[in-house]
Amino acid sequence: MAATKDYRLLCLENPLLDIQAFGDEALLEKYGLKPNDAILAEEKHLPIYEDLLNNYDAKLIAGGAAQNTARGAQYILPPNSVVYLGGAGDDKYAAILRDAVKQVGLRVEYRVDPKIPTGRCGVVITGHNRSMVTELGAANHYDLEHLKRPDIWALVENAEAYYIGGYHFTVCPPAIQELAKQAAEKNKPFILSLSAPFICQFFKEPLDASAPYWDYVIGNEGEAAAYSESHGLGLTDVKEIAKALANLPKLNTQRKRVAIITQGTEPTVVAIQGEDEVKEYPVHELAKELINDTNGAGDAFAGGFCAGIVDGHPLEEAVNMGQWLARLSIQELGPSYPFPKQTYSRQ
């Protein structure tokens, strides 16, 4: 069998260095944080990153939703299969980030901004709660110029599929559109994650501009509900929303659009453009005592799913690969995957 070529999957979004540690009420109080929350950092929060690094047993993870997904896809695929784009600084946080991705075999091509710090997410874990404080930093300054740089565009042309994390709609929609057009012109899969309800609500215009290019759109039940509400669909049933997403107008008619909605422990819903039947794929149960942390489960699902699509597996198998990787991830702390590496086998 001929060897597969390198860097078949290209991912784009906002890289962050996750600095996570077990804390206590006093640490939350020190920075005015709620036990279970996700906020953007204000001036008063900025010292938390050094605090966690210096005074706590912090675990460092190459984070940002799509970078989690890229690591997940690379976890399953052969070496040198995935390349990830985004913006980073030229500082110790970027160096830590590069070390972290190197360890898991993910290639990154960051747009380096020497004046702006690398994006960071401080994660304080108290019991089953996690308080996340994010400073986007250099991730917020990715630009089309980097994507179109000859060496980066060569990676785009080489790739066989593209995955976009929806948080990038807040940063550089033109880069998303360029990848979308390339996918349609060359008949390559364009896979998009809705990522968060606020993307559907407050970044509707760039989201809708990309919609005709979606070959696969992935979301959870909360994002599906937000899409329905913000687009006036009047639908509350997840299966009906999936069907509506699948049947939005589409430019590349060589591929039927597929909409995938995850629902935690409830079945994964899959709708295909032009087909009446909406399929449900049950999630394999995991004993509660084995669940460590559900943060990043959606990113892991997308990673397994992308690996399946890039490797040419049937849709049902790609969904199963997503569920398999999500199942592994929730047994780890944070959006991580177990080492030594486990090999995918159908559940």
How much of the chain is helix, strand and coil, in % rounded to 5? 40, 25, 35
The CA dihedral of 196, 200, 206, 209, to the nearest 10 degrees, is 120
Which of 105, 86, 26, 100 is closest to 58 using CA atoms?
A: 100
Helical ranges in the chain per DSSP H: 25-30, 48-55, 65-76, 92-103, 144-147, 150-158, 173-186, 197-202, 204-210, 221-230, 238-246, 297-310, 315-329
Which of 295, 215, 303 is closest to 11 using CA atoms?
A: 303
Which of 254, 134, 198, 180 is closest to 12 using CA atoms?
A: 180
**Coil, strand or helix at 147:** helix
24 given a catalytic annotation: no
CB 247 within 8 A of CB 286: no
Q: Which of 18, 91, 113, 299 is the catalytic position?
A: 299
C-beta neighbour count of 30 within 10 angstroms? 15
Residue 282 CA: distances (Å) to CA of 58, 191, 216, 240, 323: 35, 22, 20, 18, 9
Q: How many CA atoms lie within 13 A of 244 on its CB side?
A: 16
Burial class from Cβ neighbours inside 10 Å (0-12, 13-18, 19+) for residue 281 reads middle
Question: What are the residue numbers of the active site?
Answer: 299
